[in-house]
Every structure is written in structure tokens, then in C-alpha cells.
Structure 1
Amino acid sequence: MKIKICGITNLQDALDAIEAGADALGFVFYSKSPRYIDPFEARKIVDAIPPFVQTVGLFVNENEHYINQVCANAKMQLAQIIDDFNYTDFEILDVKYIKVLRIKEKNDLNLIDDNFALVDAFVEGFGGEGKRLALEWFDKIDCSKLIIAGGLTSKNLNELSGYGFYGVDVSSGVEEFKGKKSKLKMIEFVKEANEII
């Protein structure tokens, strides 16, 4: 199972996440988030981390030109995009991307196509609220291309066993407070995620 730790705001948290075993680091480029980071500050972190760790930029209702520019400035390898209002022309993005589906009810899962996608619980804000999705909604659904987010902690990860999710995405579940990660919580989270069958 792939593990992304999102909301990285400083180098120490990035290094601690990598040491814990994260496959990917997420950087929030949504200015209203308490986890927002300036693209050039993110670039400094990216330049200082070891190889073979994917860098992911999170965007909320932005156009493709902004996404392209920020990903270039910050050296993001992947854009994770919430596009509630069709602001983004995905055809002319310069960077590989994954769409975020914010799920309100089970029928929203019908929006899933054959591409990889990140599924998160719908909240009025965007991300890091700790709201969980109802796992029973995923019964009899092929989850092999889905990354699940929302309210995950080391204490409840075992509930994902048997669903076959491609990966997990965590932010608030491994924090000391908004914008600051807990090394111990990240270690515990990765350990539990690696035990999911």
C-alpha cells in the first residue's frame, strides 16, 4: 500500500515522514489552508530531500496555468487536484495529475472511472478536517486504483483491510497541531499501513 503524508510545511517534517517510510509528500498550495506553503519554500524542501520520494502539490479550484507554474516553481512531480467547478483544463497540464473526488454519498462513487483517483469525505472546507468516509460504500467496488483520505489514523487503518485500496493519504491524523507533524504518529501510521492486507 502506498502512503502519502500531506500538509508538509517544513524540512524536518519532510525528513521525518521519509524516515517513517512515506512514499510521497504532499504540499498544500491552497492559500486558505493552515498548511499552505509558498511554492518556493516548498522547492527548498524538495531540493533537500533524498531521491525516490514523490512530491505532490495539492490544488483547489485553480486553472491549469496556475497549476503548471506552481508545479514548476516548487518541483512537484504530481498535481492532486480538487476541481469542483471545472476550472482546470486537464488536457494542457504539463504535470502528471490525480483528481480528488469529494464524496457526499454512496452514489458519488459512480463518478469513479478507470483512472487512479483520490477519494475523500466532502467537507465545506478543503482537506485536513478528519472526516471519514463510510467504508461500507466501497463494498463490491474495485478499489485497486483508489487512494483513500479523510480521518485516517494508526488506530483505524486496520478497518481498511480487505478493500484493496491502492494507497492512503493522511494529514491531520499524524499532526501535533495543524501544520506540524508528529514523528511518532507518522512512524505508527506507516507501520499500521504496511500491515494492511
Structure 2
Amino acid sequence: MTKIKICGIKTLNDALAAIDAGTDYLGFNFYSKGVRFIEKEVCAEITSVLKREHPKIKLVGVFVNSSVDEVKNILDTCSLDLAQLHGDETPEIFAQLVPHAFKAFRGVPTDITGYEHKDGPAFLVDAAVKGMYGGSGVTADWSAAAELAKKYPLLLAGGLTPENVADAVRQSQPLGRGRCLRS
């Protein structure tokens, strides 16, 4: 069964609209240079309501090259379920956060050694855009992602729109698909 992750949540109204639309995962962006960046105090206010009123929704922090301590602090402060590591994190950093983390790759990886795990999504595949850590609106390589999806539960991101998401899911057969809210 396909799962949906909507990323870029900045307000409780955004979160509730995403839940009403059928999302399974909500993403909160902690990359300070991102347009959808959220302060952890604001996120904690939103997630306290969501944990109480929508406990089945998985809450995900999106991080780019953050320290392990910072990720753990935000996961705890905001009551998040998972950390999406969307930067240049090494397998050693990843290992310190498992089972509460999954790696996002910009482009389909050729070597996933050190990033495998069995709980939840194993990976997220996004489009590769030089100098950007996601949220570019560029379409990912769905057919290449399909090969990885045969072996691992993955989330698909990268240029997904209401017009193309069905084709992306058909081609790649991921565990889920992600979408960022545009500000």
C-alpha cells in the first residue's frame, strides 16, 4: 500500500489540511536555508496538538547536515517519530540515529552500504539538483527508483504534482511518495 508524506509543514492549518487530504507522514523542515524552515518551538506547538488528535500520523523532521545531538534534541523536543537525513550524512552519523532515521538521496544511489535498515521507509529518493537539498520541483528518475524499490521500502519525492503522481507511483512502486508544500 502506498503511503503519502507531505513536507514543508509550517502551521497547524497546513498539517490539518494535509491530514484531511490523506497523508500518512508530515514533514517539518529544519534546514535553516530552506524556504519552508520551521523553528523547533513552533513545530513543538503543532506536534503537541497532532500527537493528541492524530496519533497515527507519523511526524518527520527533515535535516540537512545537522549534528547527531541537534537531530536528537529536535526529535525529542518536537515529539517527532523519524528523522529524514537529506544532506551529506555519512553512514556513521546515520547509524547513531537508527531506527529513528532514514536517508534521503538526491538521485538514485549506486551504493547504499551503511544506510540500510528494516524499520519504516529505508530511503527517500529525490531529484538531483546541483547545490540544492530537495524542494527544487525537478522530477526524480522514477524508473531508476523502481529498481531500488524492488529491494527496499522507499519514499519517492522530486517534482511530484497532482498531474504526475499516479504515473510516478505506477513506474516506481514505492512504499510512498512525498510532496513539499509551496510557500
> TM above 0.5, one fold?
yes
The reply to whether residue 119 of structure 1 matches residue 125 of structure 2 is: yes
Distance 1:44 1:144, change over 3 A: same
The structure 1 residue matched to 2:164, chosen from 112, 136, 156, is 156
Report the AA paired with residue 127 of structure 1.
G
Q: Distance in 2 between matches of 1:97 and 1:121?
A: 20
Aligned length: 170
The reply to whether residue 147 of structure 1 matches residue 122 of structure 2 is: no
Task: Return 65-74 or 84-93, whichever deviates more.
Answer: 84-93
Distance 1:88 1:26, change over 3 A: farther
Displacement, 1:91? 3.1
Distance 1:65 1:12, change over 3 A: same
Query: Could you list the per-position Cα deviations for residues 172-193 of structure 1 after superposition, in whole angstroms to 9, with x for gaps in the alignment?
Result: 4xx3xx2xxxxxxxxxxxxxxx
Distance 1:4 1:83, change over 3 A: same
Report the secondary structure of 2:160's partner residue.
coil
Distance 1:72 1:109, change over 3 A: same
Displacement, 1:90? 2.7
Q: Distance in 2 between matches of 1:99 and 1:42?
A: 21
Does the CA-based 8 Å contact 1:6-1:28 persist in structure 2?
Answer: yes
TM-score normalized by structure 1? 0.78
Q: Distance in 1 between matches of 2:156 and 2:29?
A: 17
In structure 2, the gaps of 5 or more residues are none
Does the CA-based 8 Å contact 2:28-2:61 persist in structure 1?
Answer: yes
Q: Percent identity?
A: 34
Q: Distance in 1 between matches of 2:112 and 2:19?
A: 30
TM-score normalized by structure 2? 0.84
